Copies of this chain bind each other. A is one copy, B any other.
């Protein structure tokens, strides 16, 4: 923008599915942050529109002196690294749920009343043959522990989100996480 005073710029990109709207938004967000040294968020919205084939992406670019634009204290925090745990654990809501990678995180300073579950997602993924699916092991575990999405929905999206030759591996990874004991 030409205004030198604007410290926050919101950009909405809209159209129909297949026009590459999401990619355009992601590129703007990454370019602003990684190369132009600003903070940015990229948000993809899904709703009735998404089902009708419409697409909407939103990018917010902030001057680097402005704080990080996290909007919500999470009800569910997933920590796959110690650094992430240390940084975000204090933001977890009372009564919320913490899910962490058993072998990557040492838990401390838990807020009150937090429900805790952990899984050795990376080790389980390695046993399946590729630690790259640790995230999907964790996704299956999160689905079982929290019920925020259904198993069927997660599997449907997963199957269209990974290359065809990796669908079997990913499905197995999901099931490993889904069937893992829930209490830590």
A residues sitting closer than 8 Å to B (CB atoms) are: 1-2, 6, 9-16, 19-21, 23-24, 26-36, 39-48, 50-51, 54, 56, 58, 60-61, 64, 68-81, 83-85, 87-88, 91, 97, 101, 104, 132-136, 138-139, 142, 146-150, 152-154, 156-158, 161
Inter-chain contacts of A69 with B (CB < 8 A): 45
A81 to B26, CA, bound (A): 19
Contact status B58-A72, CB under 8 Å: yes
A161 to B22, CA, bound (A): 12
Contact status B30-A46, CB under 8 Å: yes
Q: Tell which of A33, A41, A64, A161 has the most Cβ of chain B within 10 Å.
A: A33
Contact of A84 among B15, B20, B46, B73 (CB under 8 A): B15
A153 to B32, CA, bound (A): 7
Contact of A58 among B33, B70, B83, B152 (CB under 8 A): B70
The quantity of this chain's copies bound in the complex is 2
Query: Interface majority SS on A: helix, strand, loop or mixed?
Result: mixed
In the complex, what residue of chain B is closest to A35 when comparing beta carbons? B153
A21 to B88, CA, bound (A): 15
